């Protein structure tokens, strides 16, 4: 026989399951981010990203150094190899494929570092960082950067988080923290 507490527990589990499944954030791609992040008033992040090596990360996999490394290590095409794509694109390590509808040609895109934007993309939400964070936005930190910028990378160069994050800084002056 099910007690009132049992029914309440079942209802709570069902409710929490719906809340958790409703929190599935989707990747939307840099072109969607560009719609708002291409103006001086919001920091022109898109143009800064285009000039940044992250936007060209996938192209480096076709460099002679990458092709030579691949050949020596039994990799047919580094631009299609999960071990390489995990740091040179917006790659889902769990599913071993490019995330959502994002193109590999985007390289390390906005959502690689800031999380899937489907739920926080609206201007009203983006103006409130605390709200955006509850809707999937990530504020990158050293630990996130070290997922790729580490000694497991065959082309590793010493990584100074403070210096490199200053080089790629792209704050939004309109955002409230």
Query: Average pLDDT of 157-177?
Result: 86
pLDDT of residue 21: 42
Q: Which one, of 114, 150, 146, 129, lies nearest residue 25 by Cα?
A: 114
pLDDT at 56 over 80: yes
How many other C-beta atoms lie within 10 A of the C-beta of residue 40?
Answer: 8
DSSP alpha helices (H): ranges in the chain?
4-22, 30-34, 45-51, 64-72, 82-88, 110-114, 123-126, 129-134, 142-145, 161-167
Q: Which fold has domain 25-167?
A: Flavocytochrome C3; Chain A, domain 2 (1.10.1130)
pLDDT given at position 94: 61
Q: What confidence category does residue 49 fall into, taking pLDDT thresholds of 50, 70 and 90?
A: very high
Distance between CA atoms of 15 and 141, rounded to whole angstroms? 33
d(CA 97, CA 142): 24
Per-residue model confidence (pLDDT) at position 175? 65
Cβ atoms of residues 117 and 31 within 8 Å: no
114 Cβ partners below 8 Å, 6+ apart? 137, 138, 139, 140
Band of pLDDT at residue 156, cut at 50, 70 and 90 = very high
User: 59-114 pLDDT, tens per residue?
Assistant: 999 999 999 999 999 999 998 888 898 899 887 766 666 666 677 788 899 999 99
What does the pLDDT read at residue 41?
Answer: 85
- Residue 47: alpha-carbon gap to chain centroid: 17
Q: What is the pLDDT of residue 22?
A: 47
Q: In terms of Cα–Cα distance, which of 87, 80, 102 is closest to 27? A: 102
Average pLDDT, the chain: 84
Residue, of 126 and 14, whose pLDDT is higher? 126
What is the model's pTM? 0.78
- Rounded CA separation 56/40 (Å): 23
Structural domain boundaries in the chain: 25-167
């Amino acid at each position: 026989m099910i007690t009132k507490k049992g029914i309440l527990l079942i209802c709570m589990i069902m409710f929490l399951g719906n809340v958790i499944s409703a929190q599935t954030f989707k990747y939307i791609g840099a072109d969607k981010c560009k719609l708002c992040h291409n103006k001086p008033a919001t920091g022109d992040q898109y143009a800064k990203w285009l000039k940044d090596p992250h936007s060209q990360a996938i192209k480096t996999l076709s460099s002679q150094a990458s092709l030579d490394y691949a050949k020596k290590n039994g990799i047919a095409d580094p631009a299609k190899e999960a071990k390489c794509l995990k740091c040179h694109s917006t790659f889902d390590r769990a599913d071993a494929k490019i995330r959502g509808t994002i193109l590999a040609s985007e390289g390390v895109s906005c959502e690689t570092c800031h999380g899937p934007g489907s739920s926080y993309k609206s201007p009203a939400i983006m103006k409130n960082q605390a709200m955006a964070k509850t809707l999937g936005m990530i504020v990158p930190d050293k630990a996130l950067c070290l997922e790729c910028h580490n000694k497991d990378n065959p082309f590793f160069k010493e990584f100074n988080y403070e210096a490199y994050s200053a080089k790629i800084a792209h704050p939004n002056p309109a955002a409230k923290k």
